[in-house]
Protein backbone atom coordinates (compact mmCIF):
# COMPACT_ATOMS: atom_id res chain seq x y z
CA UNK A 1 0.00 0.00 0.00
CA UNK A 2 1.40 3.40 -0.97
CA UNK A 3 2.36 5.77 1.82
CA UNK A 4 -0.03 8.68 2.16
CA UNK A 5 1.55 12.01 1.32
CA UNK A 6 0.27 15.06 3.16
CA UNK A 7 2.65 17.80 2.04
CA UNK A 8 2.31 18.75 -1.57
CA UNK A 9 3.08 21.79 -3.62
CA UNK A 10 -0.37 21.69 -5.20
CA UNK A 11 -2.65 24.43 -3.92
CA UNK A 12 -5.98 23.53 -2.32
CA UNK A 13 -6.88 27.19 -1.94
CA UNK A 14 -10.42 28.19 -2.82
CA UNK A 15 -12.24 31.49 -3.14
CA UNK A 16 -15.95 32.15 -2.72
CA UNK A 17 -16.43 34.02 -5.98
CA UNK A 18 -19.99 34.40 -7.22
CA UNK A 19 -21.17 31.19 -5.49
CA UNK A 20 -21.77 33.24 -2.34
CA UNK A 21 -24.74 34.88 -4.09
CA UNK A 22 -26.47 31.48 -4.18
CA UNK A 23 -26.38 31.15 -0.37
CA UNK A 24 -29.82 32.23 0.84
CA UNK A 25 -29.27 31.92 4.61
CA UNK A 26 -27.72 35.18 5.90
CA UNK A 27 -25.98 33.43 8.80
CA UNK A 28 -24.36 30.85 6.52
CA UNK A 29 -23.30 33.59 4.08
CA UNK A 30 -21.71 35.51 6.95
CA UNK A 31 -19.94 32.41 8.26
CA UNK A 32 -18.46 31.80 4.81
CA UNK A 33 -17.31 35.43 4.56
CA UNK A 34 -15.58 35.14 7.94
CA UNK A 35 -13.94 31.88 6.88
CA UNK A 36 -12.54 33.63 3.81
CA UNK A 37 -11.51 36.81 5.64
CA UNK A 38 -9.86 35.21 8.70
CA UNK A 39 -9.08 31.63 7.73
CA UNK A 40 -11.57 30.28 10.26
CA UNK A 41 -12.64 26.67 10.43
CA UNK A 42 -16.33 25.90 9.80
CA UNK A 43 -17.16 25.45 13.50
CA UNK A 44 -15.34 28.66 14.46
CA UNK A 45 -17.25 30.64 11.82
CA UNK A 46 -20.64 29.24 12.82
CA UNK A 47 -20.08 29.83 16.56
CA UNK A 48 -18.52 33.28 15.96
CA UNK A 49 -19.77 36.05 18.28
CA UNK A 50 -18.63 39.38 16.83
CA UNK A 51 -19.35 41.30 20.05
CA UNK A 52 -16.88 39.03 21.89
CA UNK A 53 -14.38 38.44 19.10
CA UNK A 54 -13.79 41.98 17.81
CA UNK A 55 -10.93 43.49 19.81
CA UNK A 56 -10.15 46.39 17.50
CA UNK A 57 -6.88 45.27 15.92
CA UNK A 58 -7.54 41.51 16.16
CA UNK A 59 -10.23 38.94 16.72
CA UNK A 60 -10.18 36.65 19.75
CA UNK A 61 -11.52 33.13 19.38
CA UNK A 62 -12.90 31.32 22.43
CA UNK A 63 -11.58 27.86 23.18
CA UNK A 64 -15.14 26.53 22.95
CA UNK A 65 -15.20 27.52 19.26
CA UNK A 66 -11.81 26.10 18.27
CA UNK A 67 -10.32 22.72 17.45
CA UNK A 68 -8.51 21.42 20.49
CA UNK A 69 -10.14 24.05 22.72
CA UNK A 70 -7.23 26.48 22.44
CA UNK A 71 -8.05 30.19 22.45
CA UNK A 72 -6.22 32.22 19.85
CA UNK A 73 -6.16 35.59 18.12
CA UNK A 74 -6.03 36.58 14.46
CA UNK A 75 -4.93 40.10 13.47
CA UNK A 76 -7.19 42.41 11.52
CA UNK A 77 -4.98 43.65 8.69
CA UNK A 78 -7.31 44.33 5.76
CA UNK A 79 -10.42 46.35 4.97
CA UNK A 80 -12.06 43.08 3.83
CA UNK A 81 -11.68 41.75 7.37
CA UNK A 82 -13.02 44.94 8.95
CA UNK A 83 -15.97 44.98 6.51
CA UNK A 84 -16.78 41.33 7.30
CA UNK A 85 -16.69 42.08 11.03
CA UNK A 86 -18.94 45.11 10.60
CA UNK A 87 -21.46 42.98 8.69
CA UNK A 88 -21.24 40.23 11.34
CA UNK A 89 -21.93 42.79 14.11
CA UNK A 90 -24.94 44.04 12.16
CA UNK A 91 -26.33 40.52 11.63
CA UNK A 92 -25.60 38.91 15.01
CA UNK A 93 -25.78 41.85 17.40
CA UNK A 94 -24.62 40.52 20.76
CA UNK A 95 -25.27 36.90 19.75
CA UNK A 96 -23.48 34.40 17.56
CA UNK A 97 -23.96 33.39 13.94
CA UNK A 98 -26.25 30.63 15.16
CA UNK A 99 -29.82 31.96 14.98
CA UNK A 100 -31.57 32.07 18.37
CA UNK A 101 -34.02 29.33 17.34
CA UNK A 102 -31.30 26.82 16.36
CA UNK A 103 -28.61 24.73 18.01
CA UNK A 104 -25.07 24.54 16.66
CA UNK A 105 -25.77 21.13 15.09
CA UNK A 106 -28.94 22.42 13.42
CA UNK A 107 -27.10 25.45 12.02
CA UNK A 108 -24.22 23.23 10.84
CA UNK A 109 -26.77 21.17 8.89
CA UNK A 110 -28.18 24.38 7.36
CA UNK A 111 -24.61 25.44 6.47
CA UNK A 112 -23.83 22.08 4.85
CA UNK A 113 -27.13 22.03 2.93
CA UNK A 114 -26.74 25.60 1.69
CA UNK A 115 -23.17 24.95 0.54
CA UNK A 116 -24.20 21.76 -1.26
CA UNK A 117 -27.14 23.50 -2.97
CA UNK A 118 -24.84 26.31 -4.13
CA UNK A 119 -22.29 23.85 -5.50
CA UNK A 120 -19.76 24.80 -2.84
CA UNK A 121 -17.65 21.97 -1.50
CA UNK A 122 -14.41 21.66 0.42
CA UNK A 123 -14.89 25.03 2.08
CA UNK A 124 -11.75 24.32 4.09
CA UNK A 125 -10.08 25.60 0.91
CA UNK A 126 -10.98 29.11 2.14
CA UNK A 127 -8.59 28.48 5.01
CA UNK A 128 -5.89 27.42 2.55
CA UNK A 129 -6.46 30.64 0.56
CA UNK A 130 -6.24 32.79 3.68
CA UNK A 131 -3.05 31.10 4.83
CA UNK A 132 -1.41 31.46 1.42
CA UNK A 133 -2.38 35.14 1.18
CA UNK A 134 -1.12 35.76 4.71
CA UNK A 135 2.20 34.11 3.85
CA UNK A 136 2.56 36.35 0.80
CA UNK A 137 1.79 39.43 2.91
CA UNK A 138 4.44 38.45 5.46
CA UNK A 139 7.18 37.43 3.00
CA UNK A 140 6.42 39.39 -0.17
CA UNK A 141 6.23 36.20 -2.27
CA UNK A 142 3.71 33.40 -2.77
CA UNK A 143 4.24 30.13 -0.91
CA UNK A 144 5.42 27.04 -2.80
CA UNK A 145 1.85 25.67 -2.99
CA UNK A 146 0.78 28.84 -4.85
CA UNK A 147 3.67 28.85 -7.32
CA UNK A 148 6.35 30.46 -5.15
CA UNK A 149 9.88 29.15 -4.79
CA UNK A 150 10.52 25.93 -2.88
CA UNK A 151 12.12 26.31 0.53
CA UNK A 152 15.30 24.72 -0.87
CA UNK A 153 15.49 27.52 -3.46
CA UNK A 154 15.39 30.34 -0.90
CA UNK A 155 18.40 32.40 0.13
CA UNK A 156 19.46 32.24 3.80
CA UNK A 157 17.65 35.54 4.50
CA UNK A 158 14.51 34.31 2.74
CA UNK A 159 14.61 31.06 4.75
CA UNK A 160 14.55 33.10 7.96
CA UNK A 161 11.57 35.10 6.62
CA UNK A 162 9.90 31.83 5.61
CA UNK A 163 10.38 30.30 9.06
CA UNK A 164 9.07 33.42 10.83
CA UNK A 165 6.03 33.64 8.51
CA UNK A 166 5.21 29.97 9.07
CA UNK A 167 5.51 30.38 12.85
CA UNK A 168 3.24 33.44 12.78
CA UNK A 169 0.64 31.70 10.63
CA UNK A 170 0.81 28.53 12.71
CA UNK A 171 0.04 30.54 15.85
CA UNK A 172 -2.73 32.61 14.22
CA UNK A 173 -4.52 29.62 12.71
CA UNK A 174 -4.10 27.32 15.69
CA UNK A 175 -2.02 24.60 14.08
CA UNK A 176 -0.59 22.38 16.77
CA UNK A 177 1.94 20.68 14.50
CA UNK A 178 4.46 22.40 12.22
CA UNK A 179 3.68 19.92 9.44
CA UNK A 180 0.11 21.19 9.19
CA UNK A 181 1.35 24.59 8.03
CA UNK A 182 3.41 22.82 5.35
CA UNK A 183 0.22 21.15 4.06
CA UNK A 184 -1.31 24.59 3.45
CA UNK A 185 1.79 26.36 2.14
CA UNK A 186 3.89 23.65 0.51
CA UNK A 187 7.57 23.20 1.15
**Segments making up each domain of the chain, as ranges:** 19-121, 127-185
Whole-number pLDDT of residue 183: 86
Model pTM score:
0.89
Band (12; pLDDT cuts 50, 70, 90): low
Kindly tell me if the per-residue pLDDT of 82 is higher than 60.
yes
Band (120; pLDDT cuts 50, 70, 90): confident
Contacts 24+ apart (CB under 8 A), 124-127: 124/12, 124/41, 124/42, 125/12, 125/13, 125/14, 126/14, 126/15, 126/16, 126/32, 126/35, 126/36, 126/39, 127/35, 127/39, 127/40, 127/41, 127/173, 127/184
pLDDT per residue over 129-175, tens digit each?
999 999 999 999 999 999 999 999 999 999 999 999 999 999 999 98
CATH number belonging to the domain at 19-121, selected among 1.10.443.10, 1.25.40.20, 3.40.640.10, 3.40.50.720 = 1.10.443.10
Whole-number pLDDT of residue 174: 92
Kindly tell me if the per-residue pLDDT of 4 is higher than 50.
no
Low-confidence winner among 17-21, 89-93, 141-145, 148-152 (lowest mean pLDDT): 17-21
Whole-number pLDDT of residue 122: 79
Kindly tell me if the per-residue pLDDT of 125 is higher than 50.
yes
Amino acid sequence: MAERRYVTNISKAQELGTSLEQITDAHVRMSLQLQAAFGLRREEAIKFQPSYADRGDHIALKGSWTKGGRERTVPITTTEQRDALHAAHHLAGTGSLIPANKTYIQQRHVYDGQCKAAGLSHMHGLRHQYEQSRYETLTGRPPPAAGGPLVTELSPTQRIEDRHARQTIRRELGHERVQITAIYLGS
